[in-house]
Amino acid sequence: MYSPTTRLLAVLALLQTHQRMPGAEIARRLEVDVRTVRRYIMSLQDMGVPVEGERGPYGAYSLGRGSKMPPLMFTNEEAVALVLGLNVIREFQFPVNIAAIEGAVAKTERVLPESLLQQVRALQSSIIFNVSNYRGTSPPLCDNNTLIILSTAAQERHSVEFLYHSWQDEVTERHFDPYGVIYNEGYWYTAGYCHLRQDLRTFRLDRIQSISAQEETFDDPGSVDLLGYVLNAFANVPGRYQVEVLLKTTMDIARAYIPTYLGTLETCTEGIIMRRAATNLEWVAMLLLSFDFPVEIRQPSELRSTLRSIVDRANRIAGVQSG
């Protein structure tokens, strides 16, 4: 025999799990009558839980949006997912208050059954996050307020204004229509229409300063592939050298070695053509040395010289070590 308190919590759990639920269905699941369900609903409302009811033959109960969150009920799997998700946010240094993350994790862990808590702690101690980027340094954090303003503006189609500090150490004022926010390789980016350049542009959030939302709105851009645009922009950044290399392998294998942001790939009769603009050829040479298939450098000729220089250094090091 279940106590009224247990049934009350069961009603709350059902309403949190389902977007809307008829009173008759709640009664059937709890094995009570509809009148008793109405009493439970009134008790929840008296406790401040924003339960809303729709009258009529197709009426149902649902949780509304109140001034504060009601107690949440999680399954074991949901609780594990929540704790691990919060740890991912913390380790990858998302622009969220660390104290808020720690508080949410602590509250969740305090109410976990002992067996489930041991599972969570085992996962926490066993999983290692590699948050360094390919440069071997930790990416800078972006401002939480910048992320919130851009996300809200993208959703509500409001323009923003900000100062942008470029990698060339230039500061420009931008009037911008944000289409969305992207997290890639440790950095936050926004892509959209830049009124200064009168074209689509990508901006790194940690380089944005003095951002403010504007009353001006913009039209829905439609089905823009934001991630594809950003990754393609990475592969086609201006550079001193235009790299073109023939990869003698299949597209699937080539893509496993070369993410979209490292270069564009095109199928040809001899294999796969990789193209990429580059300012520093040494990292391109090191990338080629990591491939487990034959390659042929088509341009620039300086890339061959860079490879020979790396091989000479490697031979000298090997000679010193073997001696």
Sorted by sequence, the CB contacts under 8 Å of residue 96 that are 6+ apart come out as 89, 144
| This prediction's pTM | 0.54
The answer to whether the bond into 221 is cis (omega within 30° of 0) is no
Give the C-alpha distances (Å, rounded to integers) separating 149 from 79, 95, 178, 213.
30, 13, 10, 7
- pLDDT of 133 reads 47
Sign of CA dihedral 11, 15, 17, 18: positive
- pLDDT of 159 reads 96
User: Which secondary structure element, helix H or strand E, spans residue 171, and what is its range?
Assistant: strand 171-184
For helices 76-91 and 114-126, angle between their N-to-C axes, nearest 10 degrees: 30
Whole-number Å distance between alpha carbons of 161 and 94? 23
Structure tokens at 157: 């189609």
Long-range contact set of residues 109-117: C-beta below 8 Å, sequence gap at least 24: 109/83, 112/79, 113/76, 116/76, 116/79, 116/80
Q: Which CATH architecture has domain 237-319?
A: 2-Layer Sandwich (3.30)
- pLDDT of 72 reads 67
- pLDDT of 259 reads 80
Structure tokens at 318: 């090997």
3-state secondary structure string across 262-310: HCEEEEECCEEEEEEEECCHHHHHHHHHCCCCCEEEEECHHHHHHHHHH
Whole-number Å distance between alpha carbons of 230 and 227? 5
- Asked if the 4-63 domain carries CATH number 1.10.3210.10, the reply is no
Give the C-alpha distances (Å, rounded to integers) separating 174 from 146, 147, 165, 234.
14, 16, 11, 20
Q: What is the pLDDT along the chain (323 residues), one digit of tens a residue?
A: 466 777 787 888 888 778 888 988 998 988 888 898 889 888 888 888 888 888 877 778 888 876 456 666 677 777 778 877 887 777 766 767 777 778 777 777 776 778 778 777 777 765 656 555 444 445 666 777 888 889 889 888 999 999 999 878 899 999 999 998 887 766 788 999 999 999 999 999 999 999 999 999 999 888 778 877 777 776 666 667 889 999 999 999 998 898 877 788 999 999 999 998 887 788 889 999 999 999 999 999 999 999 999 989 988 888 755 44
- pLDDT of 71 reads 66
User: Which secondary structure element, helix H or strand E, spans residue 85, and what is its range?
Assistant: helix 76-91
- pLDDT of 197 reads 93
> 144-234 has which fold?
SH3 type barrels. (2.30.30)
